[in-house]
Structure 1
Amino acid sequence: MTPEPQDRLIIRDATTEDWPAIFAFFTAIVADGETYAYPDGLSSEQAAGLWMEQAPSRTVVAVLDDRVVGSAKMGPNRPGRGSHVGTASFMVDPEARGAGIGGALGRHVVDWHRAEGYSAIQFNAVVQSNVGAVRLWQSLGFEIIGTVPAAFRSRRHGLVGLHVMHLAL
């Protein structure tokens, strides 16, 4: 019997050698226009500056069968007096969706924030029409605490809201 994909999944710190694989799906996801407000046409260097975090933050990759299939970045939501609340962003290679990678990355991020002593996690901008992500975060205990109306220009849906989601740790 072949193990399930999530049983073969390894989540580890991202390295500079992982960046080309991350950048390939980063570019596809941003170009799709449904989940991130990053500008189109970012160079590899510009995108790496937005995604590859430095301490005290962290960027990880999800590796399935020796292939980078997802990534998450995490750390404090704000500096200084707001640094006790964490945040995170996630990307899963569109070719690998549906294999539980987003959920595994989400659980990893929650566990990391807990272990690092954060009191909560706040997602600042979950696109309202991204129902799969909203459902996933809610399944991990996140609540929608507000929605900024018409704050995101979805390629397919026009103007949609951005949810602020929160999980007390």
Structure 2
Amino acid sequence: MNTVNLKSSIGFAISMFGALSSGVGVASTEVVHYSVHQVPSAQKQESRRAERAYILSEIVRANRRARHLAQIFQNECVRLSQMPDDAVVDPEAYQGLVDALRAQETMLRRTIAIVGRDEATEMGIMDLQRNTAKARSAASSATLLAKQTTNKPKVVAGATSGEAMKALADRFETELTKRFS
């Protein structure tokens, strides 16, 4: 795998996160504003319906972006797991996105607490939280796979026989079985 593809994938994921982040931010702000303000007049109720439609469309778009971002990271996991042994990938790009997605999840939890679970479910915010968590989980997996490329095992020549290693493994298994059975 060449690093150009990896860098472009991370760049695309960052831009997708930016779009997701702005969508989540707008939707969360609008939902909180919408749920807190009471609108008594008929004219304001029409405005409120239009505002709700806009919020719902933003949540749908953010959900789509979160699902797409999760798919990007799942694809990255596949690519990282198929990289040659001598490849080294910097895990910091993935970790930054994991941290940012975790912050988005926190914002969504706060929004859900303000508007209530029933309203959040109806508006699709619960789905957005779930999709954001999936994206964060996939990004965490990509981070771990990238870290594995930087921590190469050291191979040491030894004189231990295969039979001795098998005896040691059998002994360990017997001990574990006695302790945890």
Same fold (TM over 0.5): no
Greater relative contact order, per chain length (Cα 8 Å cut-off, separation 6+):
2
Bigger radius of gyration among the two: 2
TM-score range, shorter chain: under 0.3
TM-score normalised to structure 2 length = 0.24
Q: Which has the higher strand share?
A: 1
